[in-house]
Structure 1
Amino acid sequence: MRTTHHASGFGLVASRQSPAARTTGIVGVLTAVWRLYRNRCQIARLQDLDDRQLLDMGLKREDLHEALTSAFFENPGSYLTRASRNRANLFYRGVRHD
């Protein structure tokens, strides 16, 4: 038998997870889904603010819409953070973008 047969044989054995490890994994996934849902609810509440208040945070209504219509498993908060930072960078460079 060749060395390649021995080396490739190690990956064929499936590892079994303990019930505690499986439970921890499920709880972790459910926690992540709950956090994403809660973040989306908080971003939806930002729509109650007027345009001036949103601009004070460096955001526009279009940013909120983009964040809320993104894929569910993408973090919409990170999109809003990027949009706000980009708008702030433009402001400090002297480019007016409102």
Structure 2
Amino acid sequence: MRTTEHALDLVAGKPTLVSRAAGIVGVLTAVWRQHRSRRQIARLHDLDDRQLLDMGLKRQDLNEALTSAFFEDPSSYLTRASRNRANLFYRGMRHD
């Protein structure tokens, strides 16, 4: 099938078998990635508070990331929390 024909099928609203399969695979991949991220964040609980603070995190950040909505990416929450804490540190407003 040509690319233009495939694009016309998508615009026309007729999902092909390939596009449906790609959608299902995409959803399953996203669910697996979320599950794997949550498992890895749960392993961060084994670290002590000083080690977490070295990464710019607090235990509260881990708990909030794990209790976030299922389809929300918990690792992006931890990245934002760490960056915000680093910005506060470099501005001289350290909050330990």
Deviation at 1:15, TM superposition (A): 2.0
- Taking structure 1 as the reference length, the TM-score comes to 0.84
Larger Rg over CA atoms: 1
Tell me which residue corresponds to 1:5.
Answer: none
Matched to 1:83, the amino acid is A
RMSD: 0.9
Tell me which residue corresponds to 2:53.
Answer: 55
The percentage of aligned residue pairs carrying the same residue is: 78
Question: How big is each residue's C-alpha offset from its partner over 1:3-23, in whole Å with a ceiling of 9 and x where there is no partner?
Answer: xxxxxxxxxxx6221111111
After TM superposition, which residue ranges in structure 1, 4 or more long, deviate above 3 angstroms? none
Bigger mean CA offset, 60-69 vs 17-26: 17-26
Q: Which structure 2 segments of 5+ residues have no match?
A: 1-11
Tell me which residue corresponds to 1:26.
Answer: 24
Q: How does 1:40-79 map to 2 (within 5 A)?
A: 40-79=38-77
> Aligned residues, how many?
85
Secondary structure class of the residue paired with 2:18: helix
Deviation at 1:86, TM superposition (A): 0.6
- Taking structure 2 as the reference length, the TM-score comes to 0.85
* Structure 2 CA distance for aligned equivalents of residues 17 and 93 of structure 1: 52
Question: How big is each residue's C-alpha offset from its partner over 1:28-48, in whole Å with a ceiling of 9 and x where there is no partner?
Answer: 110011001100100000000
